[in-house]
Every structure is written in structure tokens, then in C-alpha cells.
Amino acid sequence: MSRTLTACLVLLVLAGGTAFGYKMIGPAAPTTWYAGGHVNLYYGLESQEEYDSDPGLSVCIGPRVLYYTIPGLGVGADLNYDANFNEYYSSGELAIGPRAAYYLMMTEQCTTKTGDIYEKAPCGCLMPFAGATFQFVTQHNSDVGEYNEKTNGWRFRVGVGVSPVLGKKATLPVELGFETKNMTTTYDYEYMEDYSWTENKIYLEVGFGAYIWKKPGK
């Protein structure tokens, strides 16, 4: 059902642009780049799993790049470094993977016309969006004891937010969402068994960035 609804929304946007017969430029328009960085604050949720991590605070920072191939749809990648803290240990994680986000286009009062070109001009609009990120994760623990260990896995994040346009191209996006992460630790000592666990977290993300585009003919 959700896939059908998403497909219908995308087709509606494309059909609308074709019907009006104009070329859009500006935030979330085709051929636009978004480049920026973000900071995430996580809070771990409790779980009954034996090896699940204890609730605690995590901080994530990293750059983000998106490219808009059709109106409103940006695809790209996130690179993150996480610092995790709880009652028993601290750890650092490096994560990288693809991201996709769909932005609702600006309203008509944010549009200006130059010749036959409609430009999405900034006017303090909030650009609501929904985004999803899948990443491969590798972890470094601060207290590994006498045995060498490797911890790797993946995580999936999904959230909603707003990306207000400031000035001509700047934006300060805010996102609230849910993350699930699956990790596996392996040891180089034959008597130590590998184990896996799952973490679920709620996160709040605050970012900064800019939309980059060229006007036709430039």
C-alpha cells in the first residue's frame, strides 16, 4: 500500500510539471545538488534481547550529499561517525551508505518567473520531507580486554522533517525518526563465541547545508 502511494505521488509531480510545460530550477528541482552536514542525538530504547545495548545517549556527526533527479526526490549518501555512551562502556562507529529523501515542493508564492523559466525563489518556506538511510557500520570499542575483536553490521533509519530555505540557497533541516541496527562481534580467540545483537533508537537530527544549481545557459 505504501509503495503504491509513493509511486502515485511521484507520478503526480512529474505529470504536473509536464502539463504546465515549464522548467523548474531551485531547491529540490531536477539537476540540483544538496551538500551539508548534520548532527544526530539518539536515545536507545529498552529491549528484552540478551545482548541488546543498554539505553543511553549517542551523538552522530557527518556530511551528506544529495542529487535531485526528478522534482522533489533526492538520492545520495551519508558518511557518519557515532560516539556511543552508556553505563558500562563507550564506543565509536563509522557508517556509510545511501540515502533517499522526498521533499514537498515549495508553494506558488515562492515561485518567480523570468521569461519562460519559473524559478523556485526562497521566501522562508518550510520544505517538509521524508527520508530513509541504509548504512554499513564498523565499531571500535574502548574496552576490548586481552582479545582482539571486530564488530560490524548495518543500520536503517527512517524519519520526517522540514528543511526551511534561508536566503537564496541555505537551509537548516530538522528530522525526527527511528533507527534499527544489527551488529555482530567476532573474536580472534577460538574459545570466544561470536554474538549478534539489535539496537533500536529514536533520533533527532539537526543539519546545515545549501542547494546548488545553475540557471539555464550557465
Q: What percent of the chain has pLDDT over 70?
A: 63
Q: What percent of the chain has pLDDT over 90?
A: 34
Could you tell me if residue 55 is inside a domain?
Answer: yes
In the predicted model, is pLDDT for residue 25 greater than 90? Answer: no
Q: Domain holding 51: CATH number?
A: 2.40.160.20
Reduced 3-state DSSP string for 112-127: EEECCEEEECCCCCCC
Record the pTM: 0.73
Could you tell me if residue 218 is inside a domain?
Answer: no
Which pLDDT belongs to residue 72?
87
- The number of distinct structural domains making up the chain is 1
Quick one: average pLDDT of 157-163? 95
2 against 75, higher pLDDT: 75
**pLDDT tens by residue, 76-114:** 999 999 887 666 566 788 999 999 999 986 544 455 556
Could you tell me if residue 111 is inside a domain?
Answer: yes
Could you tell me if residue 125 is inside a domain?
Answer: yes
- Structural domain for 165, as ranges: 2-212
Could you tell me if residue 72 is inside a domain?
Answer: yes
Could you tell me if residue 181 is inside a domain?
Answer: yes
Long-range CB contacts for residues 212-218, cutoff 8 Å, separation at least 24: 212/32, 212/33, 212/34, 212/35, 212/169, 213/25, 213/26, 213/29, 213/31, 213/32, 213/33, 213/169, 214/25, 214/31, 215/25, 215/117, 215/119, 216/23, 216/25, 216/117
Quick one: average pLDDT of 184-189? 78
Nearest to 123 by CA among 70, 79, 165: 165
Could you tell me if residue 217 is inside a domain?
Answer: no
Could you tell me if residue 57 is inside a domain?
Answer: yes
